[in-house]
Amino acid sequence: MGFWETRRVVVTGGHGFLGSFVVEKLRAAGAKEVVVPRSDKHDLRIQTEALRLYTDTHPDIVIHLAAVVGGIGANRKYPGRFFRDNAIMGLNVIEAARITGIEKFVCAGTICSYPKFTPVPFREKDFWNGYPEETNAPYGLAKKMLLVQLQAYREEYGFNGIYLTPVNLYGPRDNFDLESSHVIPALIRKCIEAKQADALEIVAWGTGNATREFLYVEDAAEAIVLAAEKYSKPDLVNLGSGEEISVRDLLEMIRTMVGARAAVRWDHSKPDGQPRRSLDTSRAAQEFGWRAKTSLNAGLKETIEWFTASRTAAAV
């Protein structure tokens, strides 16, 4: 029997962007019992509900992906909600897993937890060497505390919890709402709408000088499933693609792919966010043999095609 064939898995956030791909990867790996709770049935911000989820489903492994997320705009608008909901959900599901004796707990962290001026490439040893970038700090710190909880529980209770830190994700099924989306879906939508409207300009946030690294969502899902099976150490693990690009160059890539002719105007009144982001992912390769497979060029093509098709289908 394969590893996953004998285990029941709960994936919090399994109906979401990343979670839906993780669920698909689990089933492809042989998992026959994958439980995907909904927030209207189990509100994980309430401790008793988190506990009831496990007593109802009896999982062997929990993969915690449920989160309140968004781009810089959403983080600035809802810092209290982003801090409280993410912190309390994590605290509750980890404590409930300890109480019920879960075999293994997998927690997805965030690149936003790293210090604002982390040397590039970001190495796991630098995770605690400073305060996160201010616009993302409440969210980043809420997720960062879950690593502390997992390591403390491992030391006191022998709790087998692992913590993975993915860089910015993108891909099909992402959130393309301009009020709350991250940079890639926002730029894709702006370029496509500018082309369709024959607009004269595309307005982008900041200066365009900040750099980012992006990880295709299917690669991230593969890493999470692989780590859940093969990794059981207390140290956090970075998940990234190894490609760093400026937001300015990213926009030019997307504009060219879409065929938009509008000029770009950079709105300097909006923040750039963290100056640079690029991860050292050698630990993931060493510990469970994972490396990203999808280039940014290929991933953007897939994402643009999906978004275009979804808009066409919605218009029918």
Residues 6+ apart with CB under 8 A from 77: none
Alpha-carbon gap, residue 236 to 14, rounded angstroms: 22
Alpha-carbon gap, residue 176 to 309, rounded angstroms: 13
Alpha-carbon gap, residue 282 to 288, rounded angstroms: 10
Determine contact, residues 284/223, Cβ cutoff 8 Å: yes
Alpha-carbon gap, residue 194 to 203, rounded angstroms: 10
Dmax (CA) for the chain in angstroms is 62
170 given a catalytic annotation: no
Choice among 54, 114, 139, 153 that is catalytic: 139
Residues 6+ apart with CB under 8 A from 78: 68, 70
First to last CA, the chain: 46
Alpha-carbon gap, residue 105 to 273, rounded angstroms: 31
B/e letters for 51-61, b = 16+ CB within 10 Å, e = fewer, are bbbbeebebeb
Alpha-carbon gap, residue 260 to 140, rounded angstroms: 34
What's the full length of the chain, in residues?
316
Q: Annotated catalytic sites, by residue?
A: 139
